[in-house]
Amino acid sequence: MTEVLFYHLQRQPLEKVLPTLLEKSLERGWRVVVQASSDERVDAIDAHLWTYTDDGFLPHGTRKESEAAEQPILITSGDDNLNAAQVRFLVDGAPFPANSADYERVVLLFNGDDPDAVTDARERWKEAKAQGFEATYWQPDEQGRWVKKA
């Protein structure tokens, strides 16, 4: 059964949280798709993942590349799964893909300081539950560690 994890971003932006979660996914041997809301956002995330740290490397590419299917992390604005990923990250309000049930995990990251993003996440929670997915809600504690709240 697909797990849907809701990450309520507070005190840390997407650009800080996403690379860490992607690293953990790769450590588990998962292939990943990151779905953004636009091609411009795909380009911004792609650029950020090349430069977010001076001493590491996070292998990734975008669906525009000829070797998209070979990428362990693929960034897209569509609902395709060209790299046969087990985990899908949804950022910037990207919708659930039609094939959500094909993933082990769908991870929705939303900005807790944006009332519209919070409202959208609540609707997505209802949608995930209605589809029979196991949904969990994660929020950072005062030290920035993720704590399961629901």
CATH code of the domain in which 135 resides: 3.40.50.10110
Residue 99 in 3-state DSSP? coil
* Domain count across the chain: 1
Paired tokens of 12: 């840390």
Residue 136: exposure state from Cβ atoms within 10 A (0-12, 13-18, ≥19): middle
Q: Using 50, 70 and 90 to split pLDDT, how confident is the model at 42?
A: very high
**What is the edge-to-edge ordering of all strands in the sheet holding 32-35?**
61-62, 73-76, 32-35, 87-90, 105-111, 3-9, 134-140, 146-148
Q: What is the pLDDT of residues 48-74, one digit of tens each?
A: 999 888 887 799 999 999 999 999 999
* Short-list 2, 1, 7, 3, CA closest to 138: 7
Q: What is the pTM of this model?
A: 0.95
**Residue 26 structural domain:** 3-148
Per-residue model confidence as pLDDT tens digits over 4-38:
999 999 989 999 999 999 999 999 999 999 999 99
Task: Indicate if the pLDDT at residue 132 is higher than 80.
Answer: yes
